[in-house]
Structure 1
Amino acid sequence: MGLNLTGSNTDVEATDALARKGDDQDQMSRGKLTMAWYGTASAFFFVYIGAAMAVAYGTVNAIIGIVLTIIVYGLINTVLSRYAINNRTTVAQFSRTILGNAGSAIAMIIFALIAIYYAVFEGSIVAYAFMTAFGGEMWMWSLIVVVYSTPLILGGVRRFLDKINGLLMPVYFFGLVAAVIWAGVQYGFSDTWLTQTPDLPVPVAMGGPGWLATFAGYMGVWIMMMFTMDFASLGKRKDIKYHQRVTFGPLFYTLAYGFSAFVGIFLTFTIPGIDASETGLAGGLVSLMGVFGLIVVIATQTRINTANYYLGAANLRAFGEKVFRLKMPNVVWVILSSVIIYLFMLLPVVQYILIALAWQGVLVTAWVAIALTHILLGRWRNEEHAAIDDQHYKAFNGNGLAAWIVATVIGIVMLQLGSVNPDLAGVGATWGPILTAISAALVYGVLWKTNPVSRTGLIKVVGV
């Protein structure tokens, strides 16, 4: 057939026809996809970050910021999940449109590294829990965690894990409920956890109210938006409304952020001597509940880490194949990413989580803002999906790259304010992610209007 991919309305309709070829037969059922996605809610990191925000900005400010976060996350992922399901597009495929074929490699490697970072972080928690329960060295338990985690994303083992996923969520939920009751009974129930205030005046130290600083802190976890696209691309089109409301909407974040934060804040201010860190909370849980606490940590962290391992290896493979033309079996990429994960676990990664959140917040929030702007301005048109090969895309899309570069520079400058003047460190941390997202959306929106030729990222190909 003669298909002219130039970005006009006619051509968008043509690509839409390609997107609509086939049916939902090979896509995941809504129940399986929901359970697979809800497995990510069990990250112990979500317990930690709520406690960290309460310690830094006070419990009331943290709660307000978390509620706002749940609302915004739910709204954004409602849009992204609908688009990903409708177009069956992953982050890598979508990035070809907003950044270009070569430019999308940037998004791939960032996504891969962040997923690997989370695998390192969550794996370190399991290793620390083992060390708390049985003693030994961190390097040994880290190796054990990597060795048993790697096969879980391969073939039959992964299918087996999917079958028991429904059992792991109750372990997580009721395990944390039991921890709250256990801690309350042993150390007493009080309203102390609700009345915590920060050591420094928040508006002075953080460049704004504490709830805004909390919201900005959670913007560092906007990587969940990218996770959403990759998971949602597996869904059936007939289940779009369900996934918008149940799987990827506010309900999920009420559990992942709201419930987890409540547990983290309560345990931090109830158990004497516990540190407001992820390892501190995990160690406190094991010390409090013994073997049962260890089971909760292992079961929940292992499940979330399968997603981290899978997405890290998948995007590392996509980057290697696109940039270096490396064609290797999937198992090789999985092993390679696992080796990288273990090497990073030997470093004190956990100590630098807030710094890492700030830096990744700049890169990821810029991408999310551009993606969201593209979808909304495009009026939901179907433009990118696996049916279009790489050669049909421009190497670089100036619209998206310009917006991403400008926003990233602004974000990095804001983060570096503290090195210029320590009193401005809080200002940069609070406003950096926010200004990054706003500037990315504004620049991309302006370029969308003034440079319509680059809207789809497609080149003119005749006679396809």
Structure 2
Amino acid sequence: MPSIPTPHAGRSEADDANFSASPVPSSVRLGRWQVTMSYWSLLSAMVWLFYGALAASLYGTRNAIMAIILSAVVYSVINIFTTRLGIRLGLNSTLLTKTIFGKWGSALTALLLAATTLYYAVFESSTLATAFHLYFGAGDIRIWYAVVVLAMMPLMLGSVQSWMGKLNGILLPFYVIGLAAAVIAAYVKFGGDSAWLDSAGIVPDVARSLPGWLLSMILYLGLFVNMPATIDFARFAKIEDEKFHERVTFGWVFYIGLFVVNGIAGIYLVQSVLPNEPASEVGVVQAILASIGFFGLLFIVVSQTRVNSVNYYLSTTNLERILSTFSSIRLARIFWVSAVSVVVFLLMLTNVFHYLQTALNWQGVLVVGWVGVVLTHFALNVRDRRFGPVIDDAQLPTVGIGLFAWIVPSLIGIYLLESDSVPALLNQSAQLIVLVLAVVSYVVAHFLTRRDRSGADGGPVGREVSGDGLSTAPQM
């Protein structure tokens, strides 16, 4: 593992480690398996099991499985593009969007990713605390919240460049073995018939404005937060490993495990162990504990340790980026980890499971709009794909045209989700509507302002760098 040099005098240790204000130079790019094992921490989140169980509970098992497979295909295809952006340009998701959203508007990218991953840290930590509480059957749940947060803190101080990959590489086999053991034990203990496949879901056909498989896919659109996360990790990868990472680390191999294996396992566990109860995060924990007991508790500990290393890393680094946008103050990583831990604990006290679906829906709308605008921008701008977007604040507006193409559709999406007066079709397809509106809005804004931009630019604004930063690469 290479050590991290100091590329610019006067920069803080936090900036050097996370490259929050500059591209990751080729001299410190990481080996393929270190990047893979760091990012694959996401594989072990309980939320993937929950999403599968939730989709099946709402719209039926067969519809959910079809949606899971199709979602894996869609995510894999999109991530070919986001992986190339991250690797070839070496920029984090905030820097990558400065041209689109403006020097201050891009801070909302960091805020979105920080808030989303912090919420997932709350979600996953609450799962672990609930597992302890259910297994031991004693103690105030708030005490278990505190135990989990305090135990996690020392483990969350690592980074992609240090030991995150090693930690998660060691724990990955235990997660795979634990998940397989839970499914096998559930089959032995609770019957091996095919009843779980025949569940029709609690939402009747007359209440479905679209086919069940499509509604399940729309549910999975809410997980588009993986796209900016892909960029933030891919920037550490070497150019020569691009094809590997497109297929394995961030591509179809990853999504088979993330969505297909985890999703179907979650469906089977909940439908087999708790067939008469609606899917819930607590239900997934109960099913695992009922299947393999103490080993189920260890399995949940391993899974939450792995996934929270990513949640804490992304939330802390993005909070650093927000501060650096508006201030020259630089704080040590231990401060950010401590601050995130305090916020996680306070939010855990609100009982995150009570507002789970609302939070996931709102986050889904915002991140879908972000992905639509960003992918459209780079699809329309060959120059930015090849040379990299402008990241110098002196050359950027405070707010870019892309911000309106992101925020306005997102607000419309939230209204569609929360209003009781909108038709069911619009309510149930809000994320899809936001995606279409964001793409169309940005295309219109792009062509309306093209003449002004070309007159001001006068030529390539980026640069191709071969040895010490961005890497010269073929066009995408």
Does TM-score exceed 0.5, indicating one fold? yes
The residue number in structure 2 matching 1:439 is 437
SS at match of 1:381: helix
Distance 1:149 1:109 in 2: 23
Alignment pair present for 1:384 and 2:389: yes
| Alignment match, 1:43 | 45
- Quote how far apart the aligned CAs of 1:198 are: 2.1
* Alpha-carbon distance between aligned partners in 2 of 1:201 and 1:274, rounded to the nearest angstrom: 16
Deviation at 1:454, TM superposition (A): 4.7
* CA-CA distance at 1:409 after TM superposition: 2.9
For the structure 1 residues 191 and 459, does the alpha-carbon distance in structure 2 shift closer, same or farther, using more than 3 Å as the test? farther
2:335 maps to 332
Q: Structure 1 residues 36 and 459 mapped into 2: Cα distance closer, same or farther (>3 Å)? A: farther
**TM-score, length of structure 2 as denominator length:** 0.86
- 1:185 pairs with one of 184, 188, 193: 188
Map of 1:228 onto structure 2: 230
Going from structure 1 to structure 2, the CA distance change for 1:428 and 1:377 (only over 3 Å counts) comes to same
Q: CA deviation at 1:234?
A: 1.1
Q: Could you tell me whether the CA contact under 8 Å between 1:393 and 1:459 is conserved in 2?
A: no
CA RMSD of aligned residues (A): 2.6
The match for 2:418 among 400, 409, 416 is 416
Aligned partner of 2:394: which letter? Answer: Q
Contact 1:217 1:357 in 2 (8 A): no
Q: CA deviation at 1:242?
A: 1.2
Corresponding position of 1:251 = 253
Conservation of the 8 A alpha-carbon contact between 1:217 and 1:430: no
Cα distance in structure 1, aligned partners of 2:78 and 2:220: 14
CA distance in 2, matches of 1:183, 1:460: 63
1:197-233 alpha-carbon deviations (Å, 9 max, x no partner): 023433x323211111111111111111111111111
Deviates more, 1:452-461 or 1:146-155: 452-461
Structure 2: any 5+ residue segments left out of the alignment? 1-21, 462-476
Q: State the one-letter code of the partner of 2:358.
A: I
Q: Which residue, 55, 80, 83 being the options, matches 1:81?
A: 83
**Which shows bigger deviation, 263-272 or 445-454?**
445-454
Other-structure match for 2:176:
173
The aligned counterpart of 1:449 is 447
1:150: which partner in 2?
153
Decide whether the 8 Å contact of 1:383 with 1:456 is kept in 2.
no
| Alpha-carbon contact 1:88-1:234 (below 8 Å) kept | yes
Q: How far apart are 1:431 and its partner, in Å? A: 1.3
1:360 to 353, 363, 368: 363
Offset from partner CA, 1:371-397 (integer Å, 9 cap, x none) = 111111123323237xx4433322111
Q: In 1, distance between residues paired with 2:412 and 2:454?
A: 24
Task: Indicate conservation of the 8 Å contact 1:103/1:401, yes or no.
Answer: yes
Letter in 2 for 1:441: V
* Offset of residue 176 of structure 1: 1.1
Query: What is the CA distance between 1:162 and its match in structure 2?
Result: 3.1
The residue identity in structure 2 corresponding to 1:98 is I
Checking the alignment, whether the CA contact within 8 Å between 2:152 and 2:305 is kept in structure 1 is yes
Equivalence for 2:142 = 139
Corresponding residue for residue 206 of structure 1: 208
SS at match of 1:101: coil
Q: Could you tell me which residue of structure 2 aligns to residue 12 of structure 1?
A: none
What amino acid does structure 2 have at the position aligned with 1:366? G
For residue 302 of structure 1, report the CA deviation from its aligned partner: 0.9
Which residue in 2 is equivalent to 1:341? 344
Write the letter of the residue equivalent to 1:103.
Answer: G
Q: What's 1:63 paired with?
A: 65
User: How far apart, in 1, do the equivalents of 2:36 and 2:199 lie?
Assistant: 36
Amino acid at match of 2:119: Y
What is the number of equivalent residue pairs in this alignment?
Answer: 436
Q: 1:68-93, CA deviations, whole angstroms, 9 ceiling, x for partnerless residues?
A: 11111111111011111100011111
Using a 3 Å threshold, how does the CA distance of structure 1 residues 84 and 187 change in structure 2: closer, same or farther? same
SS in structure 1 of the partner of residue 139 of structure 2: coil
Q: CA deviation at 1:156?
A: 8.9
Taking a change above 3 Å as real, the CA distance of residues 290 and 458 of structure 1, as seen in their structure-2 partners, is farther
Cα distance, 1:450 vs structure 2: 2.4
Mapped to 1, the partners of 2:317 and 2:111 lie a distance apart of: 10
Report if aligned partners of 2:159, 2:313 keep a CA contact under 8 Å in 1.
no
Identify the range of structure 1 (22-31 vs 49-58) with the bigger mean alpha-carbon deviation.
22-31
Residue of 407, 425, 428 corresponding to 1:427:
425
- Aligned residue for 1:370? 373
The alpha carbon displacement at 1:335 in A equals 1.1
Show the 5 A alignment for 1:287-326.
287-323=290-326, 325-326=328-329
Q: Kindly tell me: are residues 458 and 367 of structure 1, through their superposed partners in 2, closer, same or farther at Cα, counting changes over 3 Å?
A: farther
How far off is 1:127 after superposition? 0.6
1:351 to 2:354 alignment: yes
Answer whether contact 1:57 1:211 (CA < 8 A) is retained.
yes
Indicate if the aligned counterparts of 1:53 and 1:214 stay in contact, CA closer than 8 A.
yes
Deviations 1:63-122 (A, max 9, x none): 111111111111111101111110001111112111000111122112111111000000
Of 445-454 and 305-314, more deviation after overlay is shown by: 445-454
- Residue identity matched to 2:445: L
TM-score, L = length of structure 1: 0.88
Assess if the C-alpha contact under 8 Å between 1:411 and 1:432 holds in 2. Answer: yes
Distance (Å, rounded) in 1 between the aligned partners of 2:201 and 2:454: 46
Cα offset, 1:345, TM superposition:
0.6
Contact 1:416 1:428 in 2 (8 A): no
Report how far residue 123 of structure 1 moved: 0.5
Seen in structure 2, the aligned counterparts of structure 1 residues 59 and 116 have a Cα distance that, compared at 3 Å, is: same
Partner Cα distance (1:246, 1:456) in 2:
42
